[in-house]
Amino acid sequence: MKKELFRDIYRRHEDNIKDFPYYIREFLERMENEMSINTIYNYGIDYNIFLNWLRSEGLYTGEVKDMPASILEELKPIDIDNFRRHVKNRRENDDVSIARKISALRKLFEYLSVGPGGKGDQPYITFNVMERVKVKMTKVDASARMEVLSTKILKTYEDFFAFKEYIASGFGEEFKENKKIMHNYHKNRERDVAIICLLLASGLRLSELVGLDVEEINVDKCECLVFGKGNTETMVQFSIFAQDALREYIAIRNERYNLPKKHKPLFVSSQKPNGRMTQRAVQLLVEKYAKAFGIKDMTVHKLRHSFATEYYLRTGDIIGLKTQLRHESIETTNLYTQLDKSQRRKNLDDGIRQYLRAEVSVEGINEK
Catalytic residues: 205, 229, 301, 304, 327, 336
CB atoms within 10 A of CB 204: 27
Q: Are 214 and 296 in contact (CB under 8 A)?
A: no
Which strands make up the sheet holding 223-227, listed edge to edge? 217-218, 223-227, 233-237
Cβ neighbors of 68 (< 8 A, separation 6 or more) are 21
Q: Are 123 and 38 in contact (CB under 8 A)?
A: no
Q: Are 123 and 114 in contact (CB under 8 A)?
A: yes
